[in-house]
Amino acid sequence: MDEISLANAAQKGDLNAFNRLVLTYQELAYNIAYRILGDPHAADDATQDAFIAAYKHLKSYRGGSFRAWLMRIVTNKCYDELRRQKRHPQTPLEPINPENEEEIESPQWIMDDSPSPEEQAETIDLDKAVQNCIQQLPEDFRVVVVMVDIQDFDYNEVSHAIGKPLGTIKSRLARARMRLKDCLQGFRELLPSMFRLENEELS
């Protein structure tokens, strides 16, 4: 059965048909959620919630790309999780040192977001470095660059998935790439040799 047939069967209540679609797209959905959220546990929850919501709202699927329709639900769940994190920040507003019960002078939120030289030296994993730069992007830019540059979606699919016109997708993607380019300059020593050499030649 193809994708549309499975979706139609799932719309009629066939849970097995829907689970076959889940098996097809669960890795893609989880990876998008992970790159947007930057946390495996949050990505796990968002992905599971997205599949449950997709099954409950299958009636809203009216043909077309099931992948784009499903990724729209995934990105919406990611936005919900990001909003929840903003409402309930894990960092305390007034951090207290438990030893002397005095306020910490340099709490996390007044620190510079960019990694310090020591942090950069400690970051030995390119994946973490790239993810760090992705996390510094605005949410709207982050979603677009993850879907296009990491998950290889085309512009139309992204436009359908996030409900924005093509011009917005192009603009957000270009600005996201510019910021990522600048951020990744701090991790030049972690880049693969082919990128580093070309980069040094250009610079």
Partner 1 sequence: MRPQEWQTLSAYIDNQLSFKEKAALEKRLEKDSDLQKALEELRQTKALLRLMPKKHIPHNFTLSADMVTARTPAISRLFPVFSLSSALATVLLVVSIVFQWGIGVPQLRAQSEMAPAADMATTYEMNAEEEAPPPIILWGEQSYSMGMATGKGGSGGGDGNEPAPPLMSQAPETFAIAPEEGSAIAEGPIEEQLTAPVTEMPEPEKAIPGDEALEDAPAEAESLPAEEGTPQMMEPSPQEPPSGKQNGEGPILGLPSEEEAGQIILPAEDEDMGQTQQQSRRTPERLPIVQILLGVLALASGTAAFLIHRKNLS
Choose between 95 and 160: whose C-beta lies nearer to partner 1: 160
Choose between 109 and 195: whose C-beta lies nearer to partner 1: 195
Compute, in degrees rounded to 10, the torsion defined by CA atoms 15, 16, 21, 24. Answer: 140
Distance from C-alpha of 129 to C-alpha of 190, rounded to nearest angstrom: 8
Q: Residue from 11, 48, 65, 135 that binds partner 1 (CB under 8 A)?
A: 48
Under rule CB under 8 A, residue 174 binds partner 1: yes
Work out whether the CA dihedral 13, 14, 16, 17 comes out positive or negative: negative
Look at residues 4, 16, 139 and name the one whose alpha carbon lies nearest to residue 68: 4
Compute, in degrees rounded to 10, the torsion defined by CA atoms 112, 43, 77, 182. Answer: 30
Choose between 160 and 175: whose C-beta lies nearer to partner 1: 175
Under rule CB under 8 A, residue 101 binds partner 1: no
Choose between 27 and 113: whose C-beta lies nearer to partner 1: 27
Taking CA 189 as the corner, what is the angle to CA 118 and CA 31, rounded to the nearest 5 degrees? 90
Catalog residues that contact partner 1 under the rule CB under 8 A: 15, 18-19, 22-23, 26-27, 29-31, 34-35, 40, 43-44, 47-48, 51-53, 55-57, 76-77, 80, 127, 130, 145, 148-150, 152, 155, 170-171, 173-175, 177-178, 180-181, 184, 191-192, 195, 198-199, 202
